[in-house]
Amino acid sequence: MRLLLYTSTNLIAEDQRALDALMVQCRTNNAVDGITGLLWTDNVRFAQALEGGEEAIASLLDRLRTDDRHADMHVIWDEVSTERHFGAWSMVMPAEDVLAQLYEQRLIQFLQRLPPALGDAFAGIVRRGSAHAGRSG
């Protein structure tokens, strides 16, 4: 199992249809690939947590690096782990789902163990992203 956390610049900000289409693509692919994850956006940046088999995550990372819906990817955490930590969703935006919010809290606690220079940017997107989704939903 590999756990990957990254941030990137959102190039489809404010385009709800493009974001909806992205979520459908994520859920469909990830269900097949055995990948689970959480995705946040504050409409400026994305923050994504991904967990899955090492090969599946490596293949997804290659696709992500050439996806023009975002740019400026920064991988802030990449570890091989023995178990899934952040839930069973093929992909979810936590503000949509009460249980996923528990995993969001777990992720925020995890981020506090990282060097602030890495964890703070991710945590900021998580906090602002939830607030944004809460307002619109």
Where on the chain is the footprint of ligand FMN (CB under 6 A)? 22, 25-26, 29-30, 37, 39, 46, 48, 50, 60, 63-64, 67, 69-70, 91
Full strand arrangement of the beta sheet holding 70-80: 36-41, 45-52, 2-10, 70-80
Helix (H, G, I), strand (E, B) or coil at 72: strand
Q: How far is the CB of 70 from ligand FMN (least distance, A)?
A: 4
Report the relative pairing of strands 2-10 and 45-52 from DSSP bridges. Answer: antiparallel
Q: Which is nearer to ligand FMN, 60 or 126 (CB)?
A: 60
Q: How far is the CB of 6 from ligand FMN (least distance, A)?
A: 9
Quick one: which H or E segment has residue 80? Answer: strand 70-80
Q: How far is the CB of 121 from ligand FMN (least distance, A)?
A: 15
